[in-house]
Each structure stands twice: as structure tokens, then as C-alpha cells.
């Protein structure tokens, strides 16, 4: 099983699983391996989601810049490269086109066609902003059609925002450490491939806990992993040894669309895995608190549903639509389920089955905060509030908070005890000292003489 842990709560598996982590290994189990995904593993849709170019002029220039950088990388890393081809590559790793020979560039592109057109051909992303600007030239020179023309200032203006965006990304360490990892950081796809080839490995946990949310990097990384797994499945890698890819917080990674109405990209690799991966031996286990956010096309492929407590009406409706054997009366039971209870539905169950799930041996770290102990850890016992008399706190071996219960709760109290009554003196005459009218006396009101006409 390949477990994609979006929040890091399954670190409690410890030595029962192999752990790899993106971004950092802080808070991960001992022995966790830091990995990255090289940027050239992105497909064009992933790259567009990452850089968000506009569809008018920025997207064509971005495509051409990537092709040119692939050519420059292939020439630079070819020990048998021709001298005239090496001459077109700048010392920093990009290619200058302004005023250069178009014929020589075309010959080099044909020579290294496999590298230029390869789906995952490597290139230097740190030169991408410069290369985009180098693409902003006229197709031919004014006096010589065999050479590239001069700089097109209008095209430079169109790609200005894209160049600024690329330069900004190159300055973000938490992004570059993942898409352009240092030599001591392994490629995640290579680690997964080596894990699959091991016969004694059972669980590989991929932690996204320390992976940044910037530029949709989380969704892109998971999409790359899904594309890689589906590609291996189509090659028959899982025919003899089927594999399950479990995704926690699955609503974050299914049918993701990024961009705007003018230039958008869909990240739907695991949607395809859910729809066609099973026949290749690759199965998806999607865990989510919001089934209403999952696409209907994915839920329609679900063979087994384990429903815990669901209170939102939209979520219950989506589960009811996905499970044909679940009627409206059964969905009304879902809000009343307590932790540990679930309803099983699927093709192997003619009717929904209510079950109680045993507590896992290594439960995930998903519990909420205990506000009753807020600020109490580390304080002396004498400074802690004592519980009410007669109430003994529950014994919790893992808590640092202790209580002392006095044998005599009334020790030191000088007031009346629970069996004592205070004596009060009652006066015989309650009206003693009162100068006003008594209860049986009325004040005589003086009548004023009327001086009217009558």
C-alpha cells in the first residue's frame, strides 16, 4: 500500500512502514527519507498549473522556452557534441537567438530531437526566465532570412508578468528544494519504484506535512505521483503484485482545476486511476470528510463504501447517489453514528451493514486539543486547581497533571460545618425602634379647603 498522508497524522506507524517526506523531515519518524520531484517530471498541464501563463502570448513563449532549454541541456551534457552546436549554448546554460543562425539552430534541434520532444526531458529551470526573454525576437532578420531577427519589444511586454512570476518562484527555498532538489535529495518516483520492487515491503508512507501550499505545489506533486503510477500500471508492473494507493483528505486531490477562465489546467491523474487503474492492478482508496466534494465520476467507480458519521446533507446525498443499495431512510442514520461505528455498503453487501470498528493498534495522531489542561502542564501540583470534593480524576498515565485530595476537606475552615446550623436571635417585637405607622395604623391625611365656585 502506498499511503499519501496529507497532514502527517500517520507518522504513528513508526517502523511498521517506510517513510518519505517532502519539504522537510521535521516531526517525521526516525529514518524518514527526504525526497523531491524534479520539475521536468511535470507534464505541460502541471507546468501550466504551476506557472499559470496566460493563453494569449505567454503560453506559446513558455513552450518554446522549455524546448530550447531542453536542447541546451542535451548539448551541454553530450560529450560528443559538435563544436558548432556547442557554440550556440551560452555559458550559463541558455541559448541566445537574436541575430543567430536559424539553420544551425534547426540542425541542432533535429540532432537532439529525442531530448527536445521527450515528455520528461531535463532542463535547467533556473534559466527559464532568461530563455523566455530570448524567445521574444522576430522570426527573421530584415536583411537575412537565415538569421533570427532583433528584439520584439511588444512581445517582451506581453511576457513581463510571466518572467516576474518565474523569477519570484526561483527565490522561494521551500519550492525550489522540491522541484529542483539538491544532489543528496532522492527523486520520489525512483524511491517508489525501488520500494515496489522489494518483496518484503508492505506500506510506503508519503508525507506532505511539510510541503508548502504555494503555487498549487501539493496538488501538482500528488498529480505527478498519480501519473507515474498509472504509467507503470499500463506497462503491466502491477499485474502480478497489485497495489493500493490510499489518499487521505482525498477531496483536495481529485478533479483539481487551477487558473482562471482564460487559462486553466486540470489535475486529474487520480481521477483516471480510479476509473481505469483497477484493470491494471492499481486500486485507489480515498478517505475524506467531505464526500460531497468528490466528483460524481469517481464515486460511481467505488466498489466498497465505509461511511462514518456524516452530518452535512450534501455529503449524505452524494453517498446515497454513489451507493445504489442505500436508501434515504438509511442515510438518516449517518448523523447519529458515534466514533468507531460505520456502515458498510458495496457490491458484496445486499443491504447496508452496521459495524463497530476496533481501535487500530497504531491510531493516527488526529485527536483534537484538550482545553481542560490548557496552561497546566509543567506547573507545581500545589498550584493546580483541585477537583470537587468526592470526585476523583480519571487515571491517565500519559498526563503530567496530578491532583492531591485532602482526607479532611473541612480542615482549616472556621465557618459552620455541614451538620451545624448557625443560631440567629429573633426579636419578640419586630417593630421595636420603628417610628412610622404600624401595620394597623393609617396616617391621617389633612383635607384641604376647597375654594372653588361651589
Position 420 pLDDT exceeds 60: no
- Of the listed ranges 122-126, 266-270, 345-349, the least confidently predicted one is 345-349
Sorted by where each begins, the domain ranges of the chain are: 2-37+181-302, 44-174, 373-411
Q: How far is CA 239 from the centre of its chain?
A: 30
**pLDDT tens digits, residue range 293-311?**
888 888 888 888 888 888 8
pLDDT at 385 over 70: no
pLDDT at res. 429: 62
Residue 47 C-alpha cell reads as 507546468
Q: At what angle do helices 58-76 and 160-169 cross, to 10 degrees?
A: 50
Which backbone phi and psi does 207 adopt, to 5 degrees? -95, 125
Question: What pLDDT, on the 0 to 100 scale, is given for residue 9?
Answer: 92
Instruction: Of 205-214, 231-240, 418-427, give the lowest mean pLDDT range.
Output: 418-427
- 73 pLDDT more than 80: yes
% pLDDT > 90, the chain: 50
Whole-number average pLDDT of the chain: 84
* pLDDT tens figures, 207-216: 999 999 988 8
Please report the pLDDT score of residue 159 as a whole number.
94
Q: Which pLDDT belongs to residue 2? A: 95
- How far from 160 is each of 58, 167, 181, 259, CA to CA, in Å? 9, 11, 27, 18
Give pTM, 2 decimals: 0.77
Q: What is the pLDDT of residues 262-281, one digit of tens each?
A: 667 888 899 999 999 999 99
**Distance in angstroms (rounded) separating the CA atoms of residues 428 and 301:** 91
Would the pLDDT of 3 be above 90? yes
pLDDT over 50 at 402, yes or no: no
The percentage of the chain sitting over the pLDDT mark of 70, rounded to a whole number, equals 80
> How large is the average pLDDT for residues 27-45?
93
Q: How confident is the model at residue 340 (pLDDT cuts 50, 70, 90)?
A: confident
Give the pLDDT confidence score for residue 157 in this predicted structure: 94
Of the listed ranges 124-138, 189-203, 317-331, the least confidently predicted one is 317-331
CA 288, CA 294: separation in Å to the nearest integer?
9
The CA distances from residue 72 to 92, 112, 223, 436, in Å, are 10, 10, 28, 112
pLDDT 10s digits, 37-68: 999 999 998 999 899 898 788 999 999 999 99
What secondary structure, in 3-state letters, does the chain show? CEEEECCCHHHHHHHHCEEEEECCCCCCCCCCEEEECCHHHCCHHHHHHHHCCCCCCHHHHHHHHHHHHHHHHHHHCCCCCCHHHHCCECCCCCECCCCCEHHHHHHHHHHCHHHHHCCCCCCCHHHHHHHHHHCCECCCCCCCCCECCCECHHHHHHCHHHHHHHHHHCCCHHHHHHHCCCCCCEEHHHHHHHHHHCCCCCCEEEECCCCCCHHHHHHHHHHHHHHHHHHHHHCCCCCCCCEEEEEECHHHCCCEEEECCCCEEEECHHHHHHHHCHHHCEEEEEECCCHHHCCHHHHCCCCEEEECCCCCHHHHHHHHHHCCCCCHHHHCCHHHCCCCEEEEEECCEEEEEEEECCCCCCCCCCCCCCHHHCCCCCCCHHHCCCCCCCCCCCCCCCCCCCCCCCCCCCCCCCCCCCCCCCCCCCCCCCCCCCCCCCCCCCCCCCCCCCCCCC
Query: What integer pLDDT is reported at residue 416 of this predicted model?
Result: 60
Please report the pLDDT score of residue 187 as a whole number. Answer: 95
**Above 80 in pLDDT, residue 292?**
yes
Residue 395: pLDDT over 60: no
User: What is the DSSP pairing of strand 33-36 with strand 186-187?
Assistant: parallel
The rounded distance, in Å, linking the Cα atoms of 352 and 68 is: 58
Nearest CA to 149 among 92, 96, 212, 193? 96
Alpha-carbon span 158 to 131, nearest angstrom: 15
pLDDT at 428 over 90: no
pLDDT of residue 405: 47
pLDDT at 139 over 60: yes
β-pair partners for 243: 282
pLDDT at 400: 46
Judged on CB neighbours under 10 Å (0-12, 13-18, 19+), 426 is exposed
Amino acid at each position: 500500500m502506498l499511503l499519501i498522508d496529507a497532514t502527517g497524522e500517520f507518522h504513528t506507524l513508526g517502523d511498521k512502514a517506510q517513510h518519505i517526506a517532502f519539504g522537510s523531515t521535521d516531526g517525521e519518524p526516525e529514518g524518514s527519507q527526504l525526497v523531491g520531484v524534479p520539475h521536468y517530471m511535470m507534464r505541460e498541464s502541471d507546468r501550466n498549473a504551476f506557472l499559470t501563463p496566460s493563453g494569449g502570448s505567454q503560453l506559446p513563449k513558455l513552450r518554446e522556452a522549455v524546448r530550447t532549454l531542453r536542447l541546451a541541456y542535451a548539448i551541454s551534457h553530450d560529450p560528443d557534441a559538435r563544436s558548432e552546436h556547442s557554440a550556440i549554448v551560452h555559458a550559463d546554460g541558455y541559448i541566445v537567438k537574436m541575430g543567430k543562425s536559424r539553420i544551425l539552430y534547426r540542425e541542432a534541434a533535429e540532432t537532439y530531437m529525442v531530448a527536445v520532444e521527450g515528455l520528461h526531458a531535463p532542463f535547467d529551470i533556473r534559466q527559464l526566465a532568461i530563455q523566455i526573454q530570448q524567445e521574444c525576437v522576430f522570426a527573421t532578420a530584415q536583411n537575412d532570412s537565415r538569421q533570427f531577427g532583433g528584439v520584439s519589444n511588444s512581445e517582451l511586454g506581453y511576457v513581463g508578468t510571466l518572467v516576474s512570476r518565474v523569477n519570484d518562484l526561483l527565490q522561494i527555498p521551500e519550492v525550489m528544494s522540491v522541484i529542483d532538489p539538491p544532489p543528496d535529495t532522492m527523486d520520489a518516483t525512483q524511491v517508489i519504484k525501488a520500494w515496489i520492487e522489494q518483496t518484503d515491503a508492505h506500506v510506503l508512507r508519503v508525507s506532505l506535512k511539510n510541503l508548502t501550499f504555494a503555487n498549487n505545489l501539493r496538488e501538482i506533486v500528488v498529480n505527478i505521483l498519480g501519473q507515474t503510477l498509472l504509467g507503470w500500471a499500463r506497462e503491466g508492473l502491477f499485474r502480478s503484485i497489485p497495489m493500493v494507493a490510499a489518499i487521505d483528505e482525498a477531496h483536495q486531490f481529485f478533479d483539481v482545476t487551477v487558473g482562471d477562465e482564460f487559462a486553466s489546467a486540470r489535475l486529474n491523474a487520480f481521477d483516471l486511476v480510479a476509473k481505469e487503474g483497477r484493470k491494471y492492478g492499481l486500486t485507489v482508496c480515498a478517505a475524506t470528510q467531505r464526500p460531497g466534494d468528490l466528483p460524481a465520476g469517481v464515486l460511481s467507480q467505488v466498489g466498497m463504501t465505509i461511511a462514518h458519521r456524516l452530518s452535512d446533507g450534501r455529503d449524505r446525498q452524494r453517498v446515497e447517489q454513489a451507493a445504489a443499495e442505500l436508501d434515504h431512510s438509511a442515510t438518516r442514520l449517518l448523523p447519529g453514528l458515534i466514533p468507531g461505528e460505520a456502515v458498510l455498503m458495496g457490491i458484496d453487501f445486499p443491504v447496508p451493514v452496521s459495524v463497530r470498528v476496533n481501535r487500530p493498534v497504531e491510531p493516527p495522531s488526529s485527536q483534537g486539543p484538550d482545553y481542560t489542561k490548557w496552561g497546566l502542564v509543567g506547573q507545581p501540583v500545589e498550584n493546580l486547581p483541585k477537583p470537587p470534593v468526592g470526585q476523583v480524576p480519571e487515571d491517565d498515565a500519559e498526563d503530567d497533571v496530578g491532583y492531591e485530595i485532602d482526607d479532611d476537606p473541612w480542615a482549616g475552615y472556621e465557618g459552620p460545618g455541614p451538620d451545624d446550623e448557625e443560631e440567629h436571635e429573633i426579636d419578640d417585637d419586630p417593630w421595636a425602634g420603628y417610628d412610622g405607622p404600624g401595620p394597623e395604623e393609617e396616617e391621617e391625611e389633612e383635607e384641604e379647603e376647597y375654594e372653588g365656585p361651589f
